[in-house]
């Protein structure tokens, strides 16, 4: 196997493993937010806003993985 093969493998693993955490985190955040809104509908607007912020923070980890994968592919 040559270096190009290892670059592609490393980028794929980086993106694959780096996407698992945010996916699980966003699902957990969304599920708990829906549960909280069901228990206290008056706070739904505030809970929804906080859910969006938490999802954005969780998604940033996936974006970092994408950046690292692109650096592996195009710079290294």
Q: Domain ranges in the chain?
A: 19-74
The mean pLDDT of 19-33, rounded to a whole number, is 94
Q: Above 90 in pLDDT, residue 1?
A: no
Query: 50-55: long-range contacts at Cβ-Cβ below 8 A with a sequence spacing of 24 or more?
Result: 54/29, 55/26, 55/29, 55/30
CATH for 19-74 (3.40.190.10, 1.20.58.100, 1.20.20.10, 3.40.1390.20): 1.20.20.10
Q: What is the mean pLDDT of residues 10-20?
A: 93
pTM: predicted TM-score of the whole model, two decimal places: 0.79
> What does the pLDDT read at residue 7?
93
The rounded percent of the chain whose pLDDT value lies above 70 is: 100
CB atoms within 10 A of CB 44: 14
Residue with more model confidence, 1 or 62? 62
């Amino acid at each position: 196997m040559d270096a190009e093969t290892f670059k592609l493998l490393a980028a794929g693993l980086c993106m694959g493993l780096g996407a698992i955490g945010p996916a699980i985190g966003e699902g957990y955040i969304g599920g708990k937010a829906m549960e909280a809104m069901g228990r206290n509908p008056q706070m739904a607007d505030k809970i929804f806003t906080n859910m969006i912020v938490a999802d954005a923070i969780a998604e940033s980890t996936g974006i970092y993985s994408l950046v690292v994968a692109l650096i592996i592919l195009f710079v290294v």
